[in-house]
Structure 1
Amino acid sequence: MDTPWWREAVTYQIYPRSFADADGDGTGDLAGITSRLDHVADLGVDAIWLSPFYPSPQIDYGYDVVDASGVDPTFGALSDADGLLTKAHELGLKVIIDLIPNHTSSAHPWFLEALAAGPGSPARDRYLFRDGRGPHGDEPPTNWRSVFGGAAWTRVEDGQWYLHMFDKEEPDLNWRHAEVAAEFRSVLRRWLDRGVDGFRVDVAHGLLKALRDQYVPAGRSPNSDPAVMYDIAVEDDPMWDHPDVHEVYRSWHDLVASYPGEHMLIAEAWTQHPADLRGYLRIDEFEQAFNFRWLQAHWSAREFTTAIVSTLDTLRPTRAWPTWVLSNHDAMRHRTRYGDGAQALARARAATLTMLALPGAAYLYQGEELGLPHVEIPPEHQQDPWAEGGNGRDGCRVPLPWSGDAPPFGFGPGESQPWLPQPAQWADLTVAAQTDRPGSTLEFYRSALAARRRHALGGGDVNFLDVPDDVIAFRRGRLGVVLNCGVTPTPLPPGDVVISSGDEVADEVPPDTAVWLLSDD
């Protein structure tokens, strides 16, 4: 039996507003993506994943959706989506798109109808409206906190409250309502009919809720931030990972499987315990779930090893294969997480090379192939609703530099500046500046991905070797991998060097460096 394409694929995440601008308005669009897909294909990846491009007020960068079957004019039209799909498939790239089922925009026709219809109406039942507590109903129905900060409930003029686990402009849907379930099945069909190969499901663990207070130990506060909400001291999460959510995904799996060819669903699912994550990876639910252990690990051989071992142990009882990711649109870029300057870039490349040697699928985020750092956005330019006066997620979403020696670095035609400012220091990091430049991060990524394909590294076991505590070493069949997280060189095992994340190595692996070696045994 042939291996499904997604099981060992390397997927490149595209953040549409920051990838490439075709019309010169400073915001990336679908036509811009299509015009630059050759760059992605030349990297040697297998698929692209597109963050949301649907009609939206863009309060939360498009995750506040008005029409999950359309294209926002900011990004073009449905014909542009069709053109992108056609070009991607011509280049041998599969296409995964985001699906946001937990909530809609407050500008969605359903929500506007619900506000107008009033309490107790069928229209209001598509969302989670509830009466408040207290003598006058002026207290929220539960003590839940929004991921974006503050209460997860907002009161409307008639006195009822509606739930929003994210921004107040993103009301949560009632997934016990038949029309909600039917609409999203229709959305899946519309995109499958257009040729989409897979769906990344946003907040997959959040669709169903138990509407009661969250139990919080004395001295703590309720918190729904995904980065910390699974603190073992606050394990009561009535708003997340409800067991009834799995019925939704079994239905979706059957629908997607009914289409000819190989299609996939991947879950963004944060769970308290490994066994809970396995529930999303049953044979009749998701093909994959994002694994954030590698992304959350610090620069540490011990933490990286724990991430690898815990991931493989979690998935061993399932038929699922691991996924690995170092950066995405919600996280600080891994180059910056690992420090500053040249050392941070060296570590970022070493972590990437090690990740690409692991079994399963890998996800790359646009710009990491250029070695882009996280950017400190001046307060007057910050746009992320999650920022709360800080840097938020804008710093990992700065538009890509393609060419030239000053902003906008070829991001779009003319001199129009992009929607977030690019650092003037990026002249040496553009695609043009790094192409065919020996030792550049772009050429390193191309070489690493070619080596992964050549040595068929998607499948197989990981066999760890006995090495010092600040080093990781493992075998994948004939291939050996060494990552030196320490401060002194470590001996190079026997074998022929396939690729190094840094300079050429001889007898030792320098600090902040990873190496692949091929042996005869």
Structure 2
Amino acid sequence: MSHLAASEWWRTAVIYQVYPRSFADSDGDGIGDLPGIAARLDSLAALGVDALWFSPFYPSPQNDAGYDVADYCDIEPEYGTLADFDALLARAHGLGMKVVVDLVPNHSSSAHRWFQEALAAPPGSPERARYLFRPGAGPDGAQAPNNWQSCFGGPAWTRVVEPDGTPGEWYLHLFDSSQPDFDWSNPWVREQFREILRFWLDRGVDGFRVDVAHGLIKENGLPDNPNGPDDFFAPTPFWAQDEVHDIYRDWRKVLDEYDGDRMMCGEVWVTPLSKLATWVRPDEMHQAFNFVHLSTAWDAPALRGTIDDSLAAFHEVGAPSTWVLSNHDVVRHATRLGFAPDAWLFHGIGPDTVDLPDPELALRRARAATLLMLALPGSAYLYQGEELGLPEAVDIPDEARQDPAWHRTAGERYGRDGCRVPIPWEADAPAYGFNDTGASWLPQPADWAAYARDAQEHDPASTLHLYRTALAERRGHDLGGGELLWVEDAGDNVLAFSNRDIVVIANLGTTPVPLPAGSTVLARSSGGGPDLGTDEAAWLVPAVRR
């Protein structure tokens, strides 16, 4: 049962991301669904999380695993019905967990009625003004309006064929061509999303995770982009425009109409942290994902700098820091942290990736990184399966891959399928208990039995046990609401700090670190004995001095 009261619960919450397609499948078709999630909620309550964030479950052609939304106020039939959602929401609330749903406002699916109406309407029509249609460049309009590139590879523009059969205007899609960008300078678009917010708030959801929250406004005139498309943090004409803040001030007013402290968390790829903090000023969002922390190498001075900068930047605007290590868009940290610090992994990994890390080393670091993260003040996000120590699924056959980045780059980028594989529940069951038929929309690795939840349930050395212990101690000592005080002179490759009555030590160096004599170990990422070894972390209660 959650320990959080309604008031500002999001400040210290541990929020667990459920990727519906890969969590649990109730009908055996190989695709996860809402009844499957509902049947497994007891396991998340037992884990000790405070809230659940559901990735998109809306009607969708699934060209981008549901982030191509065809109807914002219904449920994808493969996943269930609105009645199934209502039952899931009630069940989660009954177990003391809040519910946050994904909202995708930067773009819709090209199958959405709004876009289909735009295609059928002439240039200059109100229907086309919902999206970013523009005439092409060059004497015959055969060139894209500017040089913008899709985040999934290739041009960010697609030319349409007009109803009379002639080549026509181009529309912008910062992601897949099946995901046309809305024109957020249009008041009509803004009103539609106010109503979408109210639809889900009226059903009782506790908040929204806002997809691409830094991308809704594009620079006037849509000028060429001076930076490469692969630099997620670089200034561009389509990321982090100042006017985007007006949208979230407007949304905040909508949320504030409702009881229960409803919240918004933004997916915001912005640096520096002081700029990221502008998304969480008192009249805007409540949280923003700290991707600077996720992107920081396994290096003690670098991590300390990120932690200090994060706490200072968010404190400046009265918001909590957020901490996250894995999600549905990045290589799982139980693999990622085994790579060299400068490895570029944002396009995914696969069987041809050179120098794949030692899995034991990567998991040891991941467990230590998690223990470090969960001791920090603020709110933490977990991604389904990380509590099992799941690694990235690397050996997915080419013909089974589904990420649009894989297809748009002709296999040059592996994409994100490897972190989205259905998770294991029972070691000896079909599909490891994902369902009872063995079907799976992405193939599960042959060696995942050891990661299954039932295989770890009663093993005190398991990653699942580590997460349960850490979450219980985090709650019991209110670490999310505490204050970090560094222990100086701990060593160049050691992170040591206190929070409340807990001392946290993480050894990122090669020299063993003696644990303080007489201290009580509350949680330890690995190892044993009086010394903390390489890539290990521990939470301690110091001995009482008399």
1:491 Cα offset (Å): 1.9
Residue in 1 that maps onto 2:497: 474
Deviations 1:208-228 (A, max 9, x none): 111332352xxxxx4334xx2
TM-score normalised according to structure 1 size: 0.95
Distance 2:459 2:501 in 1: 30
Residue in 2 that maps onto 1:12: 16
The letter for the 2-side match of 1:69 is C
Q: Secondary structure at the match of 1:386?
A: helix
Distance 1:202 1:447 in 2: 31
> Aligned-residue CA RMSD in angstroms?
1.5
Deviations 1:38-71 (A, max 9, x none): 0111000100000000000000000000111110
Residue in 2 that maps onto 1:192: 201
Residue in 2 that maps onto 1:258: 257
Distance 1:342 1:272 in 2: 32
8 Å contact 2:503–2:541 — kept in the other structure?
A: yes
Residue in 1 that maps onto 2:467: 445
1:3 Cα offset (Å): 5.3
Match of 2:362 among 337, 344, 369: 344
The letter for the 2-side match of 1:192 is L
Residue in 2 that maps onto 1:248: 247
The letter for the 2-side match of 1:132 is G
Residue in 2 that maps onto 1:428: 450
Residue in 2 that maps onto 1:461: 483
Match of 1:361 among 379, 383, 394: 379
The letter for the 2-side match of 1:433 is A
Q: Secondary structure at the match of 1:309?
A: helix
The letter for the 1-side match of 2:213 is A
1:35 counterpart = 2:39: yes
1:229 counterpart = 2:232: yes
Distance 1:157 1:246 in 2: 35
Deviations 1:168-226 (A, max 9, x none): 1000001111221111111111111111001000011111111332352xxxxx4334x
8 Å contact 1:199–1:266 — kept in the other structure?
A: yes
Residue in 2 that maps onto 1:26: 30
Residue in 2 that maps onto 1:101: 105
Distance 2:460 2:134 in 1: 61
Distance 1:137 1:275 in 2: 41
Distance 2:6 2:53 in 1: 23
Distance 1:453 1:477 in 2: 12
Deviations 1:255-288 (A, max 9, x none): 1111111110111112243332222111111000
Deviations 1:318-345 (A, max 9, x none): 1101000000000000010122222221
The letter for the 1-side match of 2:42 is D
Distance 2:523 2:503 in 1: 11
1:155 counterpart = 2:162: no
Aligned length: 508
Distance 2:232 2:287 in 1: 22
Residue in 2 that maps onto 1:501: 525
Distance 2:89 2:134 in 1: 42
The letter for the 1-side match of 2:455 is A
1:406 Cα offset (Å): 6.1
Stretch moving more, 494-503 or 173-182: 494-503
Distance 1:405 1:289 in 2: 40
TM-score normalised according to structure 2 size: 0.91
8 Å contact 2:130–2:182 — kept in the other structure?
A: yes
The letter for the 2-side match of 1:75 is Y
8 Å contact 1:204–1:267 — kept in the other structure?
A: yes
1:307 Cα offset (Å): 1.7
Distance 1:26 1:430 in 2: 17
Distance 1:403 1:156 in 2: 48
Distance 2:493 2:522 in 1: 22
Match of 2:404 among 373, 381, 385: 385
Runs of 5+ consecutive residues of structure 1 not aligned to the other structure: 217-221
Q: Structure 2 matches for 1:119-158, cutoff 5 A?
A: 119-158=123-162
Distance 2:83 2:501 in 1: 47
Distance 1:47 1:169 in 2: 31
Residue in 2 that maps onto 1:118: 122
Q: Secondary structure at the match of 1:400?
A: coil
- Going from structure 1 to structure 2, the CA distance change for 1:3 and 1:304 (only over 3 Å counts) comes to farther
Runs of 5+ consecutive residues of structure 2 not aligned to the other structure: 163-167, 339-357
1:118 Cα offset (Å): 1.7
Residue in 2 that maps onto 1:75: 79
Q: Secondary structure at the match of 1:49?
A: strand
Residue in 1 that maps onto 2:291: 292
Q: Structure 2 matches for 1:295-374, cutoff 5 A?
A: 295-339=294-338, 340-374=358-392
1:296 Cα offset (Å): 0.9
